[in-house]
Amino acid sequence: MKYSEKVMDHFTNPRNVGEIENADGVGVVGNAKCGDIMKMYLKIDENDVIVDCKFKTFGCGAAIATSSMATELVKGHTVEEALKLTNSAVVEALEGLPPVKVHCSVLAEEAIKTAVADYYNKIGRPVDFEIEKAHDEE
């Protein structure tokens, strides 16, 4: 199995690792049993723009790289735009993932959406979107 250079770049030098205190939205997805957990923090301004995004991930190289790429792809965008982020867009931005690792990108998409749902709940906006789960069991 071989990772693309882009994946290895984001794995060895992950962007936006860390926590955001008083984040506007937090999403934790995956589980330790399956070997990957992603935690996404979003800082959102009054115009619904994601001004900051940080992550912490327990997982394989692909899980770390997809987390890192996902934060880059949503930072500076509105939550509306972030909700349009698909796992395949993350895979594409990483110049591909080995087939067995594609579920990691689904987890990244799930993490962003879960964090946005948390934000919606906090501000009392209805969660009007579906979240695809990377793992069947929790």
Partner 1 sequence: MRASNLKTRERSLNLARFVYADNAATTPVSRQVLDAMLPCFLEDWGNPSSLHEKGRDAKDILDDARARVAAVLGADASEIYFTSGGTESDNWAIRGAAMRLRAKGKNRIVTSKIEHHAVLHTCEALAKEGFEVVYVGVDEDGVVKLDELRASLNDKTAIVSIMYANNEVGTIQPVEEIGNIAHEFGALFHTDAVQAVGQVDIDLSKLPVDMLSLSGHKLHAPKGIGALYIRRGVVIGNLIEGGGQEKRKRGGTENLPYIVGLAKAMEIAKEKLKDLPRVAKMRDKLIEELTKIPYSKLNGHRTKRLPGNANIGFEFIEGESMLLWLDIAGVCASTGSACSSASLDPSHVLLAMGVPHERAHGSLRLSISHDTTDEDIDYIIETLPPIIEKLRNMSPLWEDVVKKEGARV
For partner 1, give the closer residue by CB, 111 or 116.
111
**Binders of partner 1 in range 41-70 (CB under 8 A):** 56-64
Nearest to 66 by CA among 32, 30, 34: 30
84 binds partner 1 (CB under 8 A): no
109 binds partner 1 (CB under 8 A): no
CA dihedral 24, 62, 73, 20 (to 10 degrees): 20
- Shortest distance, position 80 Cβ to partner 1, whole Å: 27
Q: How would DSSP label each residue in 23-55? A: -SEEEEEEETTTTEEEEEEEEE-TTSBEEEEEE
For partner 1, give the closer residue by CB, 2 or 128.
2
Q: Which residues bind partner 1 (CB under 8 A)?
A: 3, 8, 11-12, 14, 17, 19, 28, 32-39, 56-64, 100-101, 135
Catalytic machinery residues: 34, 104
